[in-house]
Chains A and B, each alone.
Chain A
């Protein structure tokens, strides 16, 4: 299969189709339901990449959970040429003393996830665990608590189900590998 998505983005093959994703998300939802039964759980999705995974996963968790979303971006800073990463959309729910599950689309080096964990820890939750649709364990630099993941990936360039290439392709219902044109 080869499909041109836009002028510079070419899809080489579908890595995980809709059915494979739905089935895996269902399994993860069941596992989380089992692990947090009887507990108060707050699930936090990371904008924008986790949007579809977050939406499907939270509906696969059969518990009275609370949901929220968090977003971050690079903000200019007077003390640094490169700016600093700051929360652009903070959570609205009080997480102090609660179990928190952070939902990501993909974790590679884990640096952005580490930043989020540091930020959320300052709000004194009981604990923080991580769920990600895709995980590249070989490239994980940080010691972060990834407990649930959909699929292990290698170094291929992926797109769809929340993952983008220059903001395009997030809404594809499957996860595809890109041809390395650039």
Chain B
């Protein structure tokens, strides 16, 4: 599950990226037009015009909404949709500021150099480069002003974004591939975090995997070679406690494969010495129902390394 916000400059391909991702993820795309039509449909034409023209008007109270402002209603509706949808994309509308406190959100900024944007706008609307520059200037100021007035944030602040694309030399498809990969990785990490809140295991995820030995690094390469997504030691499972409830023994399997919901523990020791690891793995599966742990024996590892060196059909 992912909630994506896209903040973009005019002519940066941000709109195209939003539409492309909505198609790929088969999810709802919230644009300004959608918000006006669906969130404030009962407003009269005068209100619609003011919402369209004036950022300040978003801070006015909505009649009959118990003191809520248009900004509050917009935020509430979008947050509710984010809670209830598997995937959701918010284009503009200050989504990056509105949803910045949500961990499941990926905030994207799409920009491009002024010359690139001028050419794109001129071509799209069949106007001169000067006219395109003027349109871009107005758009940039309006975007900046809206987010500043309504949410008190500066669109230029890097802190608002998880990922920023300069599309001078990147296509929509290339940007989307990066976003989709990020969704997969982040989704797997959040799933582990949520699980650890529901049972006695610990979230053991670090920002950078530091392998304990060469075997683990080599195994990660093998998984990469097969395009199998992995996480390194993301979770620690307590498996023995003393009388006072203090943890006596815990087990942190080396790899987790989100796609297969499977933990793998590597051992390069001879098989007769791996009894202890087997016992720990069994205990994890007993204490944490639904958790799959497999041991990768020395023989399996060697065979996989052989395949890595000399791949055969």
Contacts and interface: CB of A to CB of B under 8 A. Distances in A.
A109 B313 contact: no
Contacts of A112: 226
A114 interface: yes
Interface residues of B, number: 25
Interface string B275-313: 000000000000000001010110110011000100111
A82 B226 contact: no
Contact of B225 (A80, A142, A143, A164): A80
A49 B260 contact: no
Contact of A111 (B226, B292, B312): B226
Query: For the complex, would chain A's binding face be called helix, strand, loop or mixed by DSSP majority?
Result: mixed
Given A72-B313, A143-B261, A143-B262, A82 B300 contact: no
B289 to A, nearest CB: 15
B173 interface: no
Contact of B221 (A82, A139, A142): A82
A155 interface: yes
A115 B313 contact: no
Given A84-B225, A114-B228, A115-B227, A143 B311 contact: no
B264 interface: yes
A85 B225 contact: yes
A74 interface: yes
Contact of B262 (A46, A48, A74, A142): A142
B228 A82 contact: no
B141 interface: no
B226 to A, nearest CB: 4
Category for how many chain A residues contact B:
20 to 34
Contacts of A64: none
Given A108-B303, A141-B300, A48 B227 contact: no
Given A109-B303, A142-B262, A118 B228 contact: yes
Contact of A74 (B221, B260, B311): B311
Contact of A71 (B227, B262, B296, B313): B313
Contact of A84 (B224, B259, B304): B224
A141 B227 CA distance: 16
Contact of A85 (B264, B292, B300, B311): B311
B222 interface: yes
A85 B313 contact: no
A142 B228 CA distance: 11
A73 B221 CA distance: 16
Interface string A53-77: 0000000000000000001111000
Interface in A151-182: 155, 164, 167
B261 A109 contact: no
Interface in A2-55: 46-49
B62 to A, nearest CB: 43
A83 interface: yes
Interface string B147-175: 00000000000000000000000000000
Interface string B213-241: 00000000110111110000000000000
Contact of B304 (A109, A140, A164): A109
User: 9 tightest A-B contacts by CB?
Assistant: A74-B311, A115-B226, A143-B260, A48-B313, A85-B226, A141-B294, A82-B225, A143-B262, A109-B300
13 contacts: A47-B313, A49-B313, A74-B311, A85-B311, A111-B228, A111-B304, A114-B260, A139-B297, A141-B294, A142-B257, A142-B262, A143-B292, A167-B312
Interface of A: 46-49, 71-74, 80-85, 108-109, 111-112, 114-115, 118, 139-144, 155, 164, 167
